[in-house]
Structure 1
Amino acid sequence: MVERKLLQIIGGVTVGALVVVAIVVPCVLLIPEDEPAVEPTTEPTEPPSGDDRPTYTFDDLMGNDYGYSSLYPTWDKTDTTNTHFITRNSAGDIVKRAYTKPDTDVDTLITGTDDLKTSSYAVSADNQFIYYRRNAKQVWRHSYTADFAIYRMSGGAGERVDDKIVGFPMDGMIHHLEWSPTGHALAIVYGWNLWVVKDLEAATPSLYQVTDDGEQNKIYNAIPDWVYEEEMIGSNNVLHWSPDSEQIAFLRTDDTNTPIVEFSMYNEAQYPETVRIAYPKAGTSNPTVTLHAYNLGDDSIKEITIPTWPDTSANPNAILREYYFSRFTWLDENTCMPTWTDRPQTYSVGTACVRDTTSLEWTCTYIEPSTESVTNGWVGSFGPFDIVWMDANTHFTIYARANDVDPTDGRWQIAKVSWSSSSKTWLTKTNFDIVGLYWYDAVNDYLYFEAAAPLPRHRNVYRVKSSAVNDEAPECMSCPLNKDYVDRCGWITTRFNLDGSVAIMNCRGYREPMTAYYTISGGVWSDKATVLYDNQELVDKAAAIKWPRKIYGTFNSTKYSEKPLNYEMYVPADFDNSGNTKYPLLIEVYAGPEFQTVTDVWTRGWSSTHMVSDKNVVVASVDGRNSAFEGYKFMRQAYKQLGQHEPEDQTDFAAWLASQPYIDETLVGLWGWSYGGYTTTHTLGYDAGNTFKCGIAVAPLADWRFYDSMYAERYMGRPQDNDDAYTKASMITAHDLNNFKNVEYTLIHGTADDNVHFQSAAEMEKALVEADVDFDTFFYADQAHSINAGNANKHIYRQLTSRMSHCLERCGTPYPGGC
């Protein structure tokens, strides 16, 4: 849904490019605090005397003065030393650099020009060509249309070649370009069709059209339609080059029978434009998909069929007729593995697909160990997990594994699946969740993976032998970093180089981020990591500001007794918990299924930094039922009953925290965006003003019947099968709307939200008006779900600041200018 990934709202600053290195990111410093076992200590702390440091202002939030460097290298595939990556320098040149000196140019591939310096780019695998993406226009969350300029990198400014390709699109409507993994063939998606350029080195390169039936809201070739992009693929394309660059596997999505959503774009025209999107809502007709492989050698297209596999619903002997494409991976040019799920997403299967080298036809086989079946939840995490190949007959993946004591509970663990013997072996049996696979070192027999460990709020790199069975304590390779750099490397994102001899570690917090690397030889890691970026300048700048302190803890809920709930709390730099100072409390909430709020991640969020530092409030979040990485029984509490536990957990936590001596229990606010806005609204309706004084909901979903089938049905089933739960999950029908008369409620929404449609705000507004409830509402014309086009991002955060500051008695008026 709705911010399905782990996103931090950081004042609207978005950094994006096709090639990303040495990023400077806005951030916020969190002063370390001892972690309490159950609740914040009530022993008095003496606030610093005479602290006249400035606060973190609204202008600071909107600016870029507090940045840091990190390294996410795009490795040079032509480099036999596996030490260089490709990036762009400050002059706009595309250059090579060594990871050991990531700010020093080693070689220049092409010099920058004024009109290309701000364009995204990608270099071909052989470093002979480059394309620049220009004038990109956002379509949905990941998709765009744009112009592309292609250059031969022959020294200096290079030689432009796209204007030599007969028929190359020049109208700004290209959806996607992608280089082949070897050489410099180019896949193009234009007009919802797949095209290729095979001979860029020719005097007049040719453009070949692979498909010809593409049409908006009807047929999508090699790019996803709306629901696949948002809920399953998480990308702007569904094409996969084979390792030898001789084939392209692509998805064809048929939306012919998918219902259409329409809304207006105003755009200062005399008549509004009507936007139409094929959008399957819960219980309605879904798109149908087929998978194909295009052969560049003979221009043939072969279908990679889904085999007949059993329906695990009411009739176990029936044939499954509705399914979703989920994942795809090549082993070699003749072997691949697509993964599919049924429509309820309680069953998934990875199919073994082999190509006949003579006929070039594909045959796909159902292999039982490559399936996952769940009876009281859903498979994977927002879909099945990806796989990593061990050899031609064996792959690794992640499945939910029941624990020995309680078969209804368990963790995500690594399974080794053998095609030849049709068997599955569990490599791991840990007490933490494994969340992703990196790569397999076949020479030294190590599978590297990422885990939410040693605590759920952490991320670290581990490894395990392929011969392991039920390994309860796999080796943590990155854990020493957090011992050497206390509280800076609790959450690590890792990038291995092409031969696995280097691991770049980007430590993302919870204190000041930093970047280091390990060298690896024969499976042996260097004793110590070498620091690339210590970001000392940030440390010094942050020390001059009243940055928040961060406290982690656990809370014993009165609504859920099986385990304590994890929370995090941001407090002012001069925080006094003795009770001599009473602070307003602001709860920031998301609470969607599979989400996690409590993390060891650096942040400069609006509430957690600006409101804490400048408005002197306490901001807190709790991971209630539905949250991930604490065992799937806890996560699946939400199954088929969204909206029912979230308000209980948020209210219980807020009431408990408000009872602490340092909180003013009369000044408690709540806010959230997307699913967080949905939870905010539900919580206010549930609480009826007993705990919360006010709440702000941005882009909330009113009713799951209004949302897309892939997300809504994953957690709720179809409305026709679970009608009562849908009614209880609706913001409009779940609670007595008269309860909103006891709180200050603000509803904010963009009119062009393609994700959570403006319909939700309109229906909620109608219901509140009919119930004679006074409330505050604010709409943003032509703004999508993120409300960040033009000046809208700055504007909405100013509204949030003024309205919440008024509620928490930090200014005299709820409108900008009074604070």
Structure 2
Amino acid sequence: MEDGYQELDEPNRKKRGSLEAWIKLGVILVLLVWGSALLISSLPLEHHSDHKNGLRHIPKRTKNGQLKVSFANLRNDTFSPVTRSLRWLYSDDATEDDQGFFLTEVNGTYVVRSVFDKDYSRVLLEKSDFVYAGQNLTAESIIASPDQEHILLKTDTVKNWRHSTFGSYYVFDTKDHSINFVGNNISLALWSPNSNDVAYVFENNVYVYSSKAGKTIAQVTHDGSSQVFNGIPDWVYEEEVFEGNQALWWSTSGEYLSFLKINETEVHEFPIAYYVQHDDDIYPEIRKIKYPKSGTPNPSAEIQLFHLETQHLSSVFAGNSSTLVTEMTWLGGEQLLVKVTDRTSDTLSILLVDAGKGGVVTTPRVCPSGEGWWEITHRTTYLPKDIKKGRKDEGYIDLMPVDGFNHLAYFSPPETDEPVILTRGEWEVVDGPTAVDLETNNVYFIATKKSSTERHLYRVNILKPEKIEAITDTSKPGTFSVSFSSGSGLALLNYLGPDIPYQKIVTLRTHKKDSTIHGNIVGKTLYYLEDNAALHRVLNLYDVPKKTFGTLELGHDQNGKSVTANYYEILPNDFDPSRRDHYPVFFFAYGGPNSQQVLQIFSVGFNEVVSSQLDAIVVVVDGRGTGFRGKDFRSYVRDNLGDLEAQDQIEAAKIYGNKPYVNQDKISLFGWSYGGYLTLKTLEKDAGKHFKYGMSVAPVTDWRFYDSVYTERYMHTPQENPEGYRKAKVSNATALGQAQRFLLMHGTGDDNVHFQNSLKFLDLLDLAGVENYDFHVFPDSDHSIRYHNANIIVFDKLLNWIGQAYDGQFVKIG
């Protein structure tokens, strides 16, 4: 489940946590979209537009004369750091001589540059506008071949689901500037490592295009249909397994192509009605998607192997609705590693497919999860054999639990089930290895070694396991992401907070160090890509409420063990602790399994607006079930969603309610997606005792209604765990009615958390005669609620509604 909540200036968040997306974006392509440079002269005029809705007047400035944070700031990117995107390019000799070639775009011109040689410049594409067959076209994105002699140009992009699109593709020759057409309505196109061939998917069939021949040379599959997906995921695999639109992978030599054939024939359909797509529509448009709900048939996934030279296609593994294929990684030219779990993520199997022997499959590892579950990862990393470098055989690095915490393990040869443990301790490696330098045998990774609320960069050598070296400065709080050059000798280091972000290019194959420590304590800074000097100047004009991080003691678990949760609080401007029974407390929660919100990054978003404009204390608590604190902490919630997470929010509310400066009658909780569910479960469990108000956006209300892959990972199936599903459902409307008032909002076009959840909940309230709530529907909006100005309205509504609640304007009904 991905959190649909956005703090106006932040990107969508991933299911592992609403804040974890900051890390992922930096690791993949360092594409943190933070806006453009800010000038003081362009600052928006301050205003508070909510007076018309009955809110009390809020001063625009603090006592020291600085400006307060408002929605106008967020919507005009006043506090958005600038981030430069950089795409590292492949280089044949990068392992030994890493020149750090990267692709950059300036005013529509795509140029190859080198971080070492600032004078090096090679134009790949002069301009994004081009003419083909008499048509004027614009390349909306480009993908260069590994040798940079050809470029895939994508035009006419049409959005599909969260990660997938369709588009028209052309191949541009960077030498003679010729252009060849590949096809329209293509859903995926990938260069082969041989820089000649392109695998693409059209109408759910896989094809191979040759840039040398200038045409499609093979149709690999012929059975693609509305229910059979070759090379791309169906809805649930896209949303919950791959978190992307790719289910096709080239071998390292380009000799073989592996892909999934996903058959969703047995998956039940869910209809979604769209009401406002066209002004002249008098009947709603009905779109049906194959959506497997908990306990219903899943799609089946079959692993296909295609040999380019012989054009032989074979099936090497046929799964069924009880299995999930979660990852495929080529270990060299002929060996394919595949991860398979059962549908409830209890058991992980590692398969090795030998393409050179016709697709023979062996299973060197079968790993039970114990009391927890297997989270899906996508970072298994291949290490080729190199006797001179001490690597006696082929191998790979994987993420696996070591004493209850996720750590790196080196499997060599791939058939072994007894790896070399590279990292160990009561902390976690995040997602897996970030890069491997094959010249030095150093493995780089982001981890929580210093604190679970921070992310630092480390390295370990495969020949010196468990001897871990910090790359970033752990003497100061910090959250970093990183992307590495082709040879992993150079890195784009992104400092994400808690102070103002910056980016720098660092060389790590050196014994030299910076004279002034700023971020990295290992390696030499070549130059800053962005220092956000303009944002420093802007912030001098504002009194931005500060986040303070810490831990809360939330009582004891059923075994008598103390429950300690990470949290942060934001105190309002001109906070005065001597005031009695004064301050409202605005709790914001997500709380989904293995997620995280309490992370030390720089952000000025909705929480800061609430604190500034409503003179409220904002509190965010990562309770039991959240991630990056070890298996035991996240496994608390297995088979019992909504119970302990709600209890932890209530215990935190008790703590704040006992503070003398807090008004106990003005404690509220807000959440979106899983957070919306947690809000309702907390109000239900609390029955008005501590939380007086709640705001729930796009919530699950019954886990039988949510998709099988996500839900069953944490709850098993309804058939296996009927009592767990009954308890996890939002069902006690009478208890909910004990709150002073609550707000519910949902988009009717939500393909993720279906509008069905809110409708069922509303019916429950009607049957119980509960009336102390407000409801707002957003026609045709999906989970992020953005369609037809909806994102402006949803946040305005949230701020105005809770402002009215704190002002005592709501009279309880029923």
Could you tell me whether the CA contact under 8 Å between 1:185 and 1:196 is conserved in 2? Answer: yes
TM-score by length of 1: 0.85
Q: Which residue of 89, 94, 112 maps to 1:96?
A: 112
Distance 2:36 2:688 in 1: 34
Match of 1:397 in 2: 398
Shift in CA distance, 415/636, structure 1 to aligned 2, threshold 3 Å: same
Q: Which residue of 206, 210, 219 maps to 2:216?
A: 206
- Which amino acid is the alignment partner of residue 504 of structure 2? A
Distance 1:101 1:770 in 2: 71
Q: Deviations over 1:438-470 (max 9, x none)?
A: 23334333222221221001112222232445x
Match of 1:40 in 2: none
Shift in CA distance, 28/522, structure 1 to aligned 2, threshold 3 Å: closer
Could you tell me whether the CA contact under 8 Å between 1:243 and 1:333 is conserved in 2? Answer: yes
Match of 2:390 in 1: none
- Aligned pairs, how many? 744
User: Is 1:239 aligned to residue 259 of structure 2?
Assistant: no
Could you tell me whether the CA contact under 8 Å between 1:8 and 1:603 is conserved in 2? Answer: no
Could you tell me whether the CA contact under 8 Å between 1:432 and 1:456 is conserved in 2? Answer: yes
Match of 1:499 in 2: 487
Match of 2:362 in 1: 365
CA RMSD of aligned residues (A): 3.0
Could you tell me whether the CA contact under 8 Å between 2:354 and 2:361 is conserved in 1? Answer: yes
User: Is 1:122 aligned to residue 143 of structure 2?
Assistant: yes
Could you tell me whether the CA contact under 8 Å between 1:84 and 1:96 is conserved in 2? Answer: no
Shift in CA distance, 421/596, structure 1 to aligned 2, threshold 3 Å: closer
Q: Which residue of 457, 461, 467 maps to 1:461?
A: 457
Could you tell me whether the CA contact under 8 Å between 1:187 and 1:194 is conserved in 2? Answer: yes
Q: Deviations over 1:48-94 (max 9, x none)?
A: 98422222221222222333233453122258564344444341111
- Which amino acid is the alignment partner of residue 711 of structure 2? A
Match of 2:231 in 1: 222
Q: Which residue of 407, 417, 420 maps to 1:413?
A: 407
Match of 2:422 in 1: 427
- Which amino acid is the alignment partner of residue 708 of structure 2? S
Shift in CA distance, 26/509, structure 1 to aligned 2, threshold 3 Å: farther
Distance 1:800 1:116 in 2: 42
- Which amino acid is the alignment partner of residue 332 of structure 2? D
Distance 1:670 1:67 in 2: 26
Could you tell me whether the CA contact under 8 Å between 1:282 and 1:709 is conserved in 2? Answer: yes
Alpha-carbon deviation of 1:721?
A: 1.3
Alpha-carbon deviation of 1:611?
A: 1.4
Give 3-state SS (helix, strand or coil) of 2:2's partner. coil
Distance 1:527 1:86 in 2: 20
Alpha-carbon deviation of 1:382?
A: 3.5
- Which amino acid is the alignment partner of residue 734 of structure 2? L
Q: Deviations over 1:756-778 (max 9, x none)?
A: 11110110011111111112111
Alpha-carbon deviation of 1:554?
A: 1.1
Match of 1:191 in 2: 203
Give 3-state SS (helix, strand or coil) of 2:737's partner. helix
Match of 2:805 in 1: 807
Alpha-carbon deviation of 1:600?
A: 1.1
Out of 682-691 and 67-76, give the one that drifted further: 67-76
Distance 2:108 2:33 in 1: 16
Extract unaligned runs of 5+ from structure 2. 13-21, 39-60, 130-135, 386-392, 514-521
- Which amino acid is the alignment partner of residue 142 of structure 2? Y
Match of 1:706 in 2: 705
Could you tell me whether the CA contact under 8 Å between 2:330 and 2:382 is conserved in 1? Answer: no
Match of 1:375 in 2: 370
Distance 1:68 1:796 in 2: 24
Match of 1:407 in 2: none
Distance 1:576 1:304 in 2: 67
Distance 1:25 1:706 in 2: 35
Match of 2:768 in 1: 771
Shift in CA distance, 446/76, structure 1 to aligned 2, threshold 3 Å: closer
User: Is 1:139 aligned to residue 160 of structure 2?
Assistant: yes
Q: What does residue range 188-587 of structure 1 map to in structure 2 within 5 Å?
A: 188-198=200-210, 200-202=211-213, 204-206=214-216, 208-216=218-226, 218-266=227-275, 267-268=277-278, 269-305=281-317, 322-356=322-356, 361-367=358-364, 370-379=365-374, 381-382=375-376, 386-389=380-383, 391=385, 392-402=393-403, 410-419=404-413, 422-435=417-430, 436-468=432-464, 471=466, 474-478=468-472, 480=473, 483=475, 486-487=476-477, 490-521=478-509, 528-530=524-526, 532=528, 533-560=530-557, 561-579=561-579, 582-587=582-587
Alpha-carbon deviation of 1:206?
A: 3.1
Q: Deviations over 1:254-287 (max 9, x none)?
A: 1111111112122232322211111111111111
Match of 1:762 in 2: 759
Shift in CA distance, 193/794, structure 1 to aligned 2, threshold 3 Å: same
Shift in CA distance, 534/661, structure 1 to aligned 2, threshold 3 Å: farther
Distance 1:616 1:64 in 2: 22
Could you tell me whether the CA contact under 8 Å between 1:398 and 1:413 is conserved in 2? Answer: yes
Q: Deviations over 1:309-365 (max 9, x none)?
A: xxxxxxxxxxx9831101111122211111111122111121122123xxx611111
Alpha-carbon deviation of 1:306?
A: 6.5
Give 3-state SS (helix, strand or coil) of 2:317's partner. coil
- Which amino acid is the alignment partner of residue 94 of structure 1? Y
Could you tell me whether the CA contact under 8 Å between 1:19 and 1:121 is conserved in 2? Answer: no
Q: What does residue range 633-712 of structure 1 map to in structure 2 within 5 Å?
A: 633-712=632-711
- Which amino acid is the alignment partner of residue 748 of structure 1? M
Match of 1:10 in 2: 8
Give 3-state SS (helix, strand or coil) of 2:187's partner. strand
Distance 1:100 1:9 in 2: 37
Distance 1:101 1:778 in 2: 56
Could you tell me whether the CA contact under 8 Å between 2:151 and 2:174 is conserved in 1? Answer: yes
Could you tell me whether the CA contact under 8 Å between 2:666 and 2:806 is conserved in 1? Answer: yes
Could you tell me whether the CA contact under 8 Å between 1:306 and 1:351 is conserved in 2? Answer: no
Give 3-state SS (helix, strand or coil) of 2:450's partner. coil
Give 3-state SS (helix, strand or coil) of 2:350's partner. strand
Shift in CA distance, 660/505, structure 1 to aligned 2, threshold 3 Å: same
Q: Deviations over 1:735-754 (max 9, x none)?
A: 34343243311111111111
Q: Deviations over 1:201-259 (max 9, x none)?
A: 44x5235321111112x101011111111111111111111111222110000111111
Could you tell me whether the CA contact under 8 Å between 2:583 and 2:616 is conserved in 1? Answer: yes
Distance 2:28 2:647 in 1: 44
- Which amino acid is the alignment partner of residue 499 of structure 1? G
Shift in CA distance, 421/58, structure 1 to aligned 2, threshold 3 Å: closer
Distance 2:149 2:459 in 1: 36
- Which amino acid is the alignment partner of residue 120 of structure 1? S
Q: Deviations over 1:352-400 (max 9, x none)?
A: 22123xxx61111111xx3321221112x34586344364443221211
- Which amino acid is the alignment partner of residue 737 of structure 1? T
Distance 2:68 2:537 in 1: 15
Shift in CA distance, 604/130, structure 1 to aligned 2, threshold 3 Å: farther
- Which amino acid is the alignment partner of residue 186 of structure 2? I
TM-score by length of 2: 0.85
Could you tell me whether the CA contact under 8 Å between 1:28 and 1:609 is conserved in 2? Answer: no
Match of 1:42 in 2: none
- Which amino acid is the alignment partner of residue 239 of structure 1? L
Could you tell me whether the CA contact under 8 Å between 1:559 and 1:649 is conserved in 2? Answer: no
Distance 1:761 1:689 in 2: 21
Out of 345-354 and 659-668, give the one that drifted further: 659-668
Shift in CA distance, 467/493, structure 1 to aligned 2, threshold 3 Å: same
Give 3-state SS (helix, strand or coil) of 1:638's partner. coil
Extract unaligned runs of 5+ from structure 1. 30-47, 308-319, 403-409, 815-819
Match of 2:121 in 1: 106
Out of 759-768 and 240-249, give the one that drifted further: 240-249
Could you tell me whether the CA contact under 8 Å between 1:126 and 1:184 is conserved in 2? Answer: no
Out of 256-265 and 517-526, give the one that drifted further: 517-526
Distance 2:252 2:673 in 1: 39
Could you tell me whether the CA contact under 8 Å between 1:339 and 1:384 is conserved in 2? Answer: no
Distance 1:56 1:181 in 2: 49
Out of 707-716 and 262-271, give the one that drifted further: 262-271
